[in-house]
Amino acid sequence: MPQHLELVQSLRDAGHRLTPQRESVLAVIADSDGHLTAEEILARVRQRYPYLNKSAVYRSLDLLTELSLVNQTDLGHGRVEYELHRHPHHHHLICRHCKGVQQIDQAVMNSLHKKLEKDFGFHADLDHFAIFGTCHKCRARAAKSAKRHTH
């Protein structure tokens, strides 16, 4: 069974209706292996199904995210990026200063994930996480110019 039909089945099993809009959005995401913005998804869907409103795209994406079929990631580019929820995941370290993005492995989160599960019964969506901070290059640069708290 093609992947997106399997996903469509998850949708229906969860009690949601299958509309051509939703099916197209899901198919486009399943066909792509990278991140897609909502605008890209809208454009691609319209190639095969031109009757699509942007509200429907956003609403579909929110639903698919809620069902854990899709990941939403804000990499600080001013728009959210969407992709199929896959295993294993990776995460992103994003520098607030130089805007650089560095990919890191899922494994880094394993112990945190377990801890949240154990201590709080909370199932965290730690797949495809965006962590903001300062990369080692920018830290060195900042240390020079900052003479704070030395008075």
Q: Which residues bind its own copies (CB under 8 A)?
A: 6, 9-10, 13-15, 65-66, 93, 95-97, 102, 104, 108-109, 111-112, 115-116, 119-126, 131-136, 139, 145-149, 151
Which DSSP symbol is given to 84? E
Q: Is 128 in the site for DNA (CB under 7 A)?
A: no
**Nearest to its own copies of 49, 58 (CB atom):** 58
25/109 with CB nearer DNA: 25
Q: Minimum Å distance from CB 44 to its own copies?
A: 25
Token code pair at residue 104: 């890191």
Q: What are phi and psi for residue 75, nearest 5 degrees?
A: -90, 15
Residue count (the chain): 151
Spatial neighbors of 38 by CB under 8 A, at least 6 apart, are 54, 57, 58, 61, 79, 80, 82
One symbol per residue from 11 to 40: x for binding DNA (CB under 7 A), - otherwise; what is it? Answer: -x---xxxxxxx--------------xxx-
- Look up residue 66 and give its two tokens: 């809620």
